[in-house]
Amino acid sequence: MSALLNQLPASLNLLLVDDHNLLLDGLSLVLGSLAPDLRIHKAQTAEEARQLVGKQDFDLILLDLRLPDGSGLDLLRRWQQEGRLTPVAILSATDASHEVQAAYAAGARGFISKNCGAEALRDAVSRVLLGEVLPGPAARSHGRLTQRQFDILLLLAEGLPNKLISRRLHISQDTVKFHLKVLFQELGVNNRTACVSAARQLGLL
């Protein structure tokens, strides 16, 4: 067991959200050695997860991106909007760049592959529990874009209008318009559709 694991508190309360029973059982076994008093709760749908989070506090939520009744990202965004401080790490079978970036933009503290080994999973979960934000599996440069401009670009790619982008990022619509103007100039385009298309061609999305 690593030094990181030894620093964890003796009592931990985790929530695992995934629609596959076998994966949930496997995760429970792998994470079972994290703490002497480890309580693991399981949810197979977004609704089940919402209900559990509404009833009790968790030290960490491991969340799948795709659930039978909705998107894991939408669920994460809802918790962020509600002001919930529980750290959330995405557990996914994919590490597609746009999904990784969208997860971090939504407030995820880590993006963990379902294909990683048991020790790597325990280490990643431990680091998040200790307050660390894990680097993305396919981290890459945003070119000349600032992080704020990149965040706006990600939401633009989701088709969100300025009003929703401003709400999601907690900035004014005028600030969104300013950053969009800079984005258009940087990418040499004059509309939102062309901006997203150019960003994808450049590998930014």
Judge whether 136 lies within some domain: no
Q: How many CB atoms lie within 10 A of CB 64?
A: 24
Alpha helices in 35-172 (DSSP H): 46-55, 72-81, 97-105, 118-129, 147-157, 162-169
The per-residue pLDDT for 33 is 92
Judge whether 9 lies within some domain: yes
Nearest to 67 by CA among 43, 51, 86, 85: 43
Q: Which residue has the higher pLDDT, 11 or 204?
A: 11
Query: 191-203: per-residue pLDDT in tens?
Result: 999 999 888 877 7
Are 29 and 117 members of one domain? yes
Are 19 and 117 members of one domain? yes
d(CA 124, CA 120): 6
Bridge partners (DSSP) listed for residue 17: 43, 63
pLDDT category, 151, cuts 50, 70, 90?
A: confident
Judge whether 139 lies within some domain: no
pLDDT category, 143, cuts 50, 70, 90?
A: low
Query: 9-63: per-residue pLDDT in tens?
Result: 999 999 999 999 999 999 999 999 999 999 999 999 999 999 999 999 999 999 9
Give the CATH number for residue 171.
1.10.10.10
C-alpha of 190 from chain center = 30
pLDDT category, 140, cuts 50, 70, 90?
A: very low
Judge whether 53 lies within some domain: yes
Q: Which residue has the higher pLDDT, 53 or 117?
A: 53
Domain range enclosing 59: 3-129
Looking up tokens 């294909």, which residue turns up?
115
Are 38 and 109 members of one domain? yes
Whether pLDDT at 4 is above 80: no
Are 94 and 15 members of one domain? yes
- Predicted TM-score of the model (pTM): 0.66
Asked whether 105 and 155 are in contact (CB, 8 A), the reply is: yes
The per-residue pLDDT for 202 is 76
The per-residue pLDDT for 94 is 74
Whether pLDDT at 96 is above 70: no
Are 189 and 109 members of one domain? no
The backbone torsions φ and ψ at residue 70, rounded to the nearest 5 degrees and listed phi first, read: 160, 180
Nearest to 47 by CA among 68, 66, 22: 68
The per-residue pLDDT for 142 is 60
Are 102 and 12 members of one domain? yes
E runs forming strands in the chain: 11-17, 37-43, 60-63, 66-67, 70-71, 88-92, 110-113
Judge whether 19 lies within some domain: yes
Whether pLDDT at 7 is above 70: yes
The domain boundary, picked from 72, 96, 129, lies at: 129
Give the CATH number for residue 10.
3.40.50.2300
Judge whether 180 lies within some domain: yes
d(CA 3, CA 152): 38
Whether pLDDT at 3 is above 60: no
Task: Write out the H or E segment, with its range, that includes residue 8.
Answer: none
pLDDT above 90 covers a percentage of the chain that reads 58
Q: Which residue has the higher pLDDT, 136 or 87?
A: 87
Judge whether 140 lies within some domain: no
Provide the mean pLDDT of the chain.
Answer: 87
Are 71 and 29 members of one domain? yes
Are 122 and 157 members of one domain? no
Query: Domain count of the chain?
Result: 2
Residue type, 164: L
The domain boundary, picked from 95, 129, 163, lies at: 129
Judge whether 56 lies within some domain: yes
Question: Over the range 100-139, which residues count as b (16 or more CB within 10 Å of their CB) and which as e?
Answer: bbbbbbbebbbbbbbeeeeeebbbbbbbbbeeeebebbee
C-alpha of 43 from chain center = 17
Whether pLDDT at 80 is above 60: yes
